[in-house]
Structure 1
């Protein structure tokens, strides 16, 4: 199927869409899953807060919200990313905006692959998998 990148309320133009799509497909394959229909929506803090309140009853900003529609061997879903928070976090963690954005994108994909991050152990496992996926990107797709 396909991976779609779109914008909501901003004019961000993602570079290397093809490389990022191929990376996501390889990551999915490495976890023995196929890609279904995935939409990655770039937005701002206000829109993410609206979604967080409306669908999750959370009244706070976040960098990513993932709606998982996956089934059996195929991952599908909508991934909303706040570019405002990605930029803020890139400064906090002293990494480039692009590196932080890749981490957030793959974080959403890992959620679609079944990884959780509510408990401390799950957060550690999620971070280890993010790092592994980012290493793959830097060695093969940059």
Structure 2
């Protein structure tokens, strides 16, 4: 008989490792719920959102992905048999720079990347073209739930 693990509802913990993050905490739960609304049977449980900086994210990216550079978001899923969904780690400086370069607001770009990270925790990736298209469509649907324009559209900003 397979071992059953009880998965509670959604619990979100926020760890602020960089005090320079703006006050965006009220955007987190709606963004996570929008991401999960695009998944037929989402894995719930404890989700840790880590608001970090480029230096810490660079170290994680190097140690876990072999890429010695900062990135905007990293996701660390937990095994399905645990009561945890996983961790999403975001780098403030990279997100701010990308938002400026792309002509987007920091909050909207942050929400997009948080949704992206949560979808990774749900098992989605963008390694193959078809998977990338599916993940992008889910992101766009989740963002639309929050009245945020399609970030992949040439009109977005």
Contact kept, 8 Å, 2:31 with 2:114, in 1: the verdict is no
How many residues align? The count is 137
Whose helix proportion is higher, 1 or 2?
A: 1
- Change in CA separation of 1:53 and 1:29 when aligned onto 2, cut-off 3 Å: same
TM-score by length of 1: 0.83
Equivalent in the alignment of 2:88: 79
Which of the numbers 66, 77, 89 marks the counterpart of 2:75?
66
Q: Relative contact order (alpha carbons < 8 A, sep ≥ 6): 1 or 2 greater?
A: 2
Alignment of 1:32-47 (within 5 A): 32-47=41-56
- Change in CA separation of 1:80 and 1:20 when aligned onto 2, cut-off 3 Å: closer
Structure 2, unpaired ranges of 5+? 1-9, 149-157
- Change in CA separation of 1:29 and 1:75 when aligned onto 2, cut-off 3 Å: farther
* Pairwise CA distance, 1:117: 1.4
Equivalent in the alignment of 2:126: 117
Contact kept, 8 Å, 1:68 with 1:77, in 2: the verdict is yes
d(CA) in 1 for partners of 2:61, 2:131 = 21
* Pairwise CA distance, 1:99: 0.5
- Change in CA separation of 1:26 and 1:95 when aligned onto 2, cut-off 3 Å: closer
d(CA) in 2 for partners of 1:75, 1:23 = 18
- Change in CA separation of 1:90 and 1:37 when aligned onto 2, cut-off 3 Å: same
Structure 1 segments of 4+ aligned residues over 6 angstroms from their partners: none
TM-score by length of 2: 0.76
Contact kept, 8 Å, 1:25 with 1:34, in 2: the verdict is no
- Which has more radius of gyration? 2
